Amino acid sequence: MWRKGELASLQRRTLWHWSGLAVRVATACLLVGLAFSLLWFDRNGLRDNIDGHLSFADVVYFTMITVSTVGYGDIVPVSERARLIDAFLITPIRIFLWLIFLGTAAEFLIKHRWENWRMRQIQRTLHDHVVLAGFGRSGQKALEELLAGGADVGKIVVIDSDADRIELAKAAGVAAIRGDTTRDEVQKAVQLERASSLIVSCGRDDTSILTVLTGRHLAPTVRIAVAIRNCDNEALARQAGANIVVNPVSFAGLLLASTSHGAHIADYLTDLATTEGKMRLREREVTQGEVGQFLNEVSGGRALRLYRGKEILCPDDAIPPRIRAGDMIVEIVRV
C-alpha cells in the first residue's frame, strides 16, 4: 500500500535512477578488478620500498592507490613492462573511474536537483491538462489516441503505482507520477482541480470508483470518464461523480452484435471511435451564427445529436430542434 509521505516527485524523464547507479558501481568494480588482475599478473615488475616483499595485500593496496591517485611512492613499477602496463592500461582505467565518480556526483548533486526544480515548475504550470489515472492497456491506448488526436504532450499527466508503467509513460514524453490513484495527495500533486478532464482506468472497478470519488471531491467541476468492467458497477460509478462511464465489455459486445446486421457496421463504428479512421466524432459548442437554426441545417447535415443540459435532441425528432446558445453538438467530421 502506498503510504502518505512516500509520494514520488512528478517527473517526465528522470535523470537519476537507482538502476543506473548500480550499473556504474558494477562498472567501477569491474575496472578495479581488471586493474588488480593486471598488476597481480605483473607483480614481479613492482618493488616494495618498505620491506622488499610484495604480498597479495600489497597488490590490493597498490591497485586502489593507483586507480584513485598517482600513488605514494612506497610501491613503484620498476620493470619496463610494468611501466608500460601502468602507462597504457592502468592510467586509462584510472581516467574512466574518475569519469564515473565525477559523472555520478554531478548527476546526483546538480542534475537531480535541477530535475526536481524543473518538475516543480511543471506542477505549477499545469492547467487545462488531462489526467490519466491508471496506465494499463486501456490507459496506454487512451494516451495513444490522445496523442494521435493532436493533444499536447505537455498537457497530459499519468498516475500509476507500477514503476514499469511509469517508465512507459515517461518514454512517451508525458509527465508521470507514481502513486495510489485513490489518494488525495496524489491527485493534488497533479493539480487535478485545474485539469480539463480525468480519465480513470485502474483495471479494478472498486479502485476506479474510489478514484472517481476522490477526484470529484477534489475537483467538483472537472469532467471525469471511467472504464467499468462490471455492468452492476456502472450506477455506482455515476453516483461517485463520473460524467461518462464506459464499459469495454459492453462496447465489445455491441461491435460483435453489429456484425449480424451487416458486414461493415462494426468497421464503421471502429472508424468513428479511433483517430486512425477516415471519419471522426466531434463534440463542440454551437456558434453564434448557428443559434436559431434547425439542427439538421448545420454541419452539412452531419450533426447527430444536440445536448441541452441533460436533454438529448436529434435532427429527426417529431419537433425538429432549434439551436440555442450554449447547446453542444455531436457531429461527424472528416479527418
CATH code for the domain in which residue 46 is found: 1.10.287.70
Q: Are residues 115 and 139 in the same domain?
A: no
pLDDT in tens, 129-142: 999 999 999 999 99
Q: Is 224 exposed, middle or buried (0-12, 13-18, 19+ CB in 10 A)?
A: buried
Q: Are 214 and 183 in contact (CB under 8 A)?
A: yes
12 lies in a domain? no
**Cβ neighbours of residue 332 under 8 Å, at least 6 residues apart?**
272, 279, 280, 281, 282, 302, 304
Element (H, E) at 115: helix 112-125
Q: Are residues 29 and 72 in the same domain?
A: yes
Q: Which of 124, 147, 182 is the last residue of a domain?
A: 124
Q: Are residues 97 and 135 in the same domain?
A: no
Q: Are residues 65 and 82 in the same domain?
A: yes
Q: Are 312 and 305 in contact (CB under 8 A)?
A: yes
Q: Are residues 31 and 139 in the same domain?
A: no
Whole-angstrom Cα distance, residue 300 to residue 114? Answer: 52
Q: What's the one-letter identity of residue 172?
A: A
Q: Are residues 145 and 118 in the same domain?
A: no
Query: Which pLDDT score is estimated for 119?
Result: 66
Q: Which of 70, 103, 124 is the last residue of a domain?
A: 124
Query: Which pLDDT score is estimated for 131?
Result: 96
Whole-angstrom Cα distance, residue 32 to residue 44? Answer: 19
Three-state DSSP class for residue 40: helix
The CATH number of the domain holding residue 309 is 3.30.70.1450
2 lies in a domain? no
Q: Which of 124, 159, 174 is the last residue of a domain?
A: 124
With vertex at residue 6, the alpha carbon angle to CA 5 and CA 11, rounded to the nearest 5 degrees, is: 115
C-alpha distances out from residue 230 to 50, 59, 149, Å: 80, 69, 29
320 lies in a domain? yes
Whole-angstrom Cα distance, residue 171 to residue 146? Answer: 15
264 lies in a domain? no
7 lies in a domain? no
> Which residues of the chain, if any, have pLDDT below 70?
1-19, 111-112, 115-116, 118-119
The CATH number of the domain holding residue 173 is 3.40.50.720
Whole-angstrom Cα distance, residue 8 to residue 5? Answer: 9
Q: Are residues 143 and 225 in the same domain?
A: yes
329 lies in a domain? yes
For 247, the grid coordinates are 464499459
Query: Which pLDDT score is estimated for 223?
Result: 94
Q: Are residues 180 and 240 in the same domain?
A: yes
Whole-angstrom Cα distance, residue 258 to residue 262? Answer: 7
Query: Which pLDDT score is estimated for 159?
Result: 95
Q: Are residues 232 and 330 in the same domain?
A: no
Count structural domains, the chain. Answer: 3
User: Which residue range forms the structural domain that includes residue 48?
Assistant: 18-124
* Region of residue 193 (left: phi > 0; alpha: psi -120 to 50; beta: else): alpha
Query: Which pLDDT score is estimated for 86?
Result: 85
